[in-house]
Amino acid sequence: MTTVAPPPDSLPESLPESLPESLPESLPEPLPEDSHPDTSAVPVAQRAVRGGLWVAAASYWAIGFGFAANILLTRLLTPEMYGDYALATFFATLFQLRTKFGLAYAYAQERSVTGEAIGTVFTLDVLLGIGGLAIGLVAAPILLAFGYAWAVVAMMMVLLAVALIDSVLSVFMTTLDRELQFKPGSVIGSVILPLSYFPAFWLALTGRGSLSLISQAVSFGLLTLGFYVVFIRHNMRWMFRLRWRFSRSLARRFISFGALSGVAAFLSSMVSQTDNFVVGTRNGAAELGYYDRAYRTAQWPNILLNTLLVRSALFTYAQVKDDAARLRKSVSMVLWLIVTMAAPIALALFLTAPDLILLIYGERWLPAVPSLRLLVVAALLRPVWDNTLAMFIGTGRPRAPIWIGVLQLAIILGLGWVLAGMFGPPGVGVAVIVAYLVALAAAYRLTADQLQLDLVGLFVKPLLAAVLVVAGYLVLDHLLPFEAWPLWLRVAGKGAYAAVGYYAVSFLLQPQATLERLRYIRRLLGR
């Protein structure tokens, strides 16, 4: 998402909030009596940054704990088990209905929280969750007839059942998100995550590994339900004081808007999982297991940023969508954060790939290395695309990413199917990279005039920094006896070089812009 006419290479110390030159012709309509307006006196920018930091902190914890948990599980489970679970996840995502209607996006566009809006969204969410489960029941015998394993179908049904919990809690989660209150969800998720892994560890250690992965998903869902029930009773009781009621007219409006947003988000989700379908169907469950481990390892930068993008950025864009200058600054800041936070991690994964796989997963998982290096590139492109999607949806333009998502799926299915037959799973990784590049090129064409972002500062210079770091590594690899070092030291040394080298080179390429952005963030946090 770039433009041809870049603005100045620095951000102001505060967002422009000038008074209107004249009074409006009419006063705005009063809020309904049965409503709960956003009464926060904290500026949007400050709430967004602070909320984003809570999300980032929770994401760091998720990465750290998930890293340790997956080391243990991967050493206990087989590639075939991971392959079956990856296919089950793909089909569960495909058959879920509520993700395709995007009710949360439509609800986020409301001026205030009303009992009518809550009742309508809640009813629709639950009905769509039940509908997805019903579709899974119909599809199950068809998948078995096509030769998919019974374990794949059974895990798919369990995942669809667990998704009903999201249907029940969605309206409460979205109410917090629309007001940029991300702390509760971040804290709850951080507590639940380690607890949900205990059943998985026990099942894997007792030789019932095929059940361990699905048990973690079930535990996480049930714990989420329990924790949110307690939180809602103590902190969101005001929602139950509103008169919940279902409105057909509001339902039609939510569906008409949300369906477009939901389809766009669903297509984005399918883009991130269709490669699993291609590898699993074309190359088998074992190859998919290697590919899935490579994919999940490559996603560490995206795990850090995705929740921030989908939640914080989306709702921030929705609040500043009518102010072009503030929207441009918000998008620019998020993109800068993406590059700044994700690029060093991606570089470290790329440089340490063979040593890292050997260290954390063991020798039998080394076939995942080629896919990992390719998918790291895709992992850098995905958060940029996710931010583009959030901008389109948050500003009320959900149609654009739909046809882009269809194009991405066509590339992964078509090109990926061909390359999978020629090169195996790494060929599918190439198709994924091409799909994201095409999507970003299309987004550039659609947003160039509106946003006018600094293409050179946001993308070209960071790419140059990454290239210089890789070139420096190739030189060091000939000068230093890396292979004589202990395995853990090789990983630590190469990772530290990637991070320090990237930040150093990036600062040298654009020192003024970096300092301005850091001062801007500090000022927001210190208000």
* Whole-number pLDDT of residue 255: 82
**Do 398 and 347 touch, CB atoms closer than 8 A?**
no
Q: How far apart are CA 72 and CA 437, in angstroms?
A: 35
Helix (H, G, I), strand (E, B) or coil at 361: coil
Query: 472 is written with which tokens?
Result: 């420096």
Structure tokens at 68: 């340790």
Our CA dihedral for 293, 298, 300, 303, rounded to 10 degrees, sits at -90
Consecutive H or E run containing 35:
strand 35-36
pLDDT tens digits for 328-364?
777 777 788 788 888 888 899 999 999 999 988 888 8
Three-state SS annotation for 239-254: HHHCCCCCCHHHHHHH
Report the alpha-carbon distance of residue 49 to residue 517 in Å, rounded: 13
Q: What is the dihedral of CA 488, 493, 499, 503, to 10 degrees?
A: 170
Q: What angle do CA 251, 257, 263 make, to 5 degrees?
A: 110
Quick one: pLDDT at residue 29?
43
In this prediction, residue 506 carries a pLDDT of 84
Q: Are 219 and 200 in contact (CB under 8 A)?
A: yes
**Rounded CA gap, 168 and 225, in Å?**
9
Dihedral angle at the C-alpha atoms of 233, 239, 243, 249, nearest 10 degrees?
A: -130
| Residue 133 in tokens | 């489960």
DSSP labels, 77-141: S-HHHHHHHHHHHHHHHHH-SHHHHTHHHHHHTSSSEEHHHHHHHHHHHHHHHHHHHHHHHHHHH
Task: Please write the tens of the pLDDT for every residue from 315-325.
Answer: 677 777 777 77
State the pLDDT at residue 130.
92
Q: Dihedral of CA 58/332/105/377: which sign?
A: negative
Instruction: Provide the b/e sequence for 226-262 (b: ≥16 CB within 10 Å).
Output: ebbeebbeeeeeebeebebeebeebbeebbebbbbbb
Tokens of 176: 């917090």
pTM of the model: 0.72
The dihedral built from the CA positions of residue 88, 91, 97 and 100, taken in this order, carries a sign that is positive
Q: Which residues of 9-18 are buried (b: 16+ CB within 10 A; e: fewer)?
A: ebbeeebeee
- Kindly state the tokens that stand for 362: 């063991």
**Rounded Cα distance, 474 and 351, in Å:** 10
Q: Where are the domains of the chain?
A: 77-259, 272-527
- Report the C-alpha gap between 458 and 328 in whole angstroms: 13
**Per-residue pLDDT at 355:** 93
Q: Cα–chain-centroid distance for residue 197?
A: 21
Count how many Cα atoms sit within 13 Å of the Cα of residue 417 in the half-sphere of its side chain.
8
158 contacts: CB under 8 Å, gap ≥ 6: 214, 217, 218
Task: Burial-class residue 102 by CB neighbours within 10 Å (0-12, 13-18, 19+).
Answer: buried
3-class secondary structure per residue, 139-188: HHHHHHHCCCCHHHHHHHHHHHHHHHHHHHHHHHHHHHHHCCCCHHHHHH
Give residue 168's Cα distance to chain centre: 21
- Return the SS3 of 483: helix
Measured CA to CA in angstroms, residue 238 lies from 36, 47, 242, 382, 483 at distances of 8, 21, 7, 38, 62
- Count Cβ atoms below 10 Å from residue 316 Cβ, excluding itself: 27
Between CA 102 and CA 423 the distance in angstroms is 37
What residues of the chain score a pLDDT lower than 70? 1-60, 62-63, 105, 109, 111, 178-182, 185, 258, 261, 303-312, 314-315, 448-458, 520-527
Angle formed at CA 477 by CA 473 and CA 479, multiple of 5 degrees: 115
